[in-house]
Amino acid sequence: MITRTRLAAGACALLAALTAGIAFPAGAAAGEPTGEDAPKVNLVLDVSGSMRTRDIDGGTRMAAAKQAFNEVLDATPEEVRLGIRTLGADYPGDDRKTGCKDTAQLYPVGPLDRTEAKTAVATLAPTGWTPIGPALLKAADDLEGGGGSKRIVLISDGEDTCAPLDPCEVAREIAAKGIGLTIDTLGLVPNAKMRQQLSCIAEATGGTYTSVEHTDELTDKVNQLVDRAADPVVTPVATEGADTCAKAPTLESGLYTDREEFGRQRWYRVDVEPGQELRASVSVGADRAVNPSYGVLLRAVTVHGREIVRGEAAGNGRTDVLSTGLRYPKAASDEEDAPAETVCLQVTNSFSVAAGVKTTPGLPLELTVDVVDGPSDADDVASFGLGRGWWLLGALILAGFLAGLLWGWLSRWRFAVWRTN
């Protein structure tokens, strides 16, 4: 079964590998990113006064953020150019105009000096306002230039306090520039209003929103998002599944995004030639508060409704993305012009929303379709899933049978000798 791949929700970007024959800068090996191509990540941390609250694993929200940052800095891939920007870290006063300008680049986006970055983080203390909108604008400027992927990871424990500069509108403005910048948001111990705002920011740029209530969750999620900056470039294609297979769009190999209503299904069609193998996986993201206990089902079905294979996964509320996958090898045909088989892919979810939460738009869905050359002959297809393991299994059975015969013969011989004596 193909598991998610950290799909969610949306697709991530990476630098293009340099091809042979291109001159490399001094010190850069073939295939390694140059400074211009390197992926960039800007971590934007809320250092407002509310970060003093002690409700994360017995410590303050600020302490949890610092611990997570230190571990993330240790694990950041060498090719990633990383920076840290703060909001609400410097101005402790009550003047709103001044407080809403309180954002600064704590560590510049560039090659990472882990010791220097950790030292800078250690100096932070919860201080002022929460100017999320102004911080996002500045964070986008920090990432200007270069041809690599660009990502902002915003960590906050409260909604913006500097309206009317709506951070949701700021995110849409950034997306409209077409610079390929993704904003992911993490809410520390979120409330409904903050969750709605951070979800809106992420959705505007194709990013993800995650609620966090423990230090290890924060560390894992930030690490995951930083690592995504080093993933291969994949451009998702928006599609719209149908409510029946007959009306479904026909998809080729690629990455697709869609939205699926709560507790509903989406259908897609894929043509599979004889001798090919269909590999498909789906991820459905909970981008708002949902009830615990939910599942995702992916089925491959014939056009006549017969199920071929399925993949399914269940969640208990501890993850915001649920993924599953399937594989279907179509046997080769002796007929030279054998037609392709149309396979219907059905995606079903059993998510349900908490009271008062909007059900529209539907949940973000990401579907990966890959049609590749399958096993070379019918025998290989018959043994799909074990491959050459059939040979090993047969050898073990034969060896066990012979060993049993030998042991039985020796036992009978020893017993006969014992009786004779």
Q: What is the pLDDT at residue 296?
A: 93
Is 277 in the same domain as 175? no
Q: Report the DSSP beta bridge partners of residue 349.
A: 296
Q: How far is CA 303 from the centre of its chain?
A: 31
Consecutive sets of 10 residues in the chain, 421 residues long: mean pLDDT of each? 35 29 34 64 96 94 94 92 96 93 96 95 95 95 88 93 87 82 89 88 84 90 84 75 96 92 95 92 86 92 94 77 87 81 96 86 90 59 43 72 78 70 62
In a domain, 386, yes or no: no
Is 188 in the same domain as 296? no
- pLDDT tens-digit profile of 11-45? 333 222 322 232 333 333 333 444 567 899 999 99
Is 277 in the same domain as 314? yes
Token code pair at residue 418: 């014992």
In a domain, 271, yes or no: yes
Is 133 in the same domain as 246? no
Is 201 in the same domain as 249? no
Long-range contacts of 71-77 (CB under 8 A, 24+ apart): 71/219, 71/223, 72/43, 72/219, 72/222, 72/223, 72/226, 73/112, 73/114, 73/117, 73/118, 73/121, 74/114, 75/223, 75/226, 76/112, 76/114, 76/226, 77/226, 77/227, 77/229, 77/230
Token code pair at residue 124: 């932070």
Write down which residue in 228, 251, 279 finishes a domain: 228
| Domain that includes residue 365, residue range | 237-379
Is 144 in the same domain as 49? yes
Q: What is the pLDDT at residue 400?
A: 78
Is 220 in the same domain as 273? no
Is 194 in the same domain as 266? no
- Please give the Cα distance from 384 to 379 (Å, whole number): 9
Is 180 in the same domain as 301? no
- pLDDT tens-digit profile of 125-138? 999 999 999 999 99
In a domain, 66, yes or no: yes
Is 221 in the same domain as 169? yes
Counted domains in the chain: 2
Q: What is the pLDDT at residue 384?
A: 41
In a domain, 30, yes or no: no
**Secondary structure (H, E, C), the chain:** CCCCCCCCCCCCCCCCCCCCCCCCCCCCCCCCCCCCCCCEEEEEEECCHHHHCEEECCEEHHHHHHHHHHHHHHHCCCCCEEEEEEECCCCCCCCHHHHCCCEEEEEEEECCCHHHHHHHHHCCCCCCCCCHHHHHHHHHHHCCCCCCCEEEEEEECCCCCCCCCCHHHHHHHHHHCCCCEEEEEEEECCCHHHHHHHHHHHHHCCCCEEEECCHHHHHHHHHHHHHHCCCCCCCCEECCCECCCCCCCECCCEEEEEEECCCCEEEEEEEECCCEEEEEEEEEECCCCECCCEEEEEEEEECCCCEEEEEEEEECCCCCEEEEEEEEECCCCCCCCCCCEEEEEEEEECCCECCCCCCCCCEEEEEEEEEEECCCCHHHHHCCCCCCHHHHHHHHHHHHHHHHHHHHHHHHHHHHHHHHC
The pTM assigned to this predicted structure is: 0.55
CATH code where residue 108 lies: 3.40.50.410
Is 325 in the same domain as 246? yes
Q: What is the pLDDT at residue 179?
A: 75
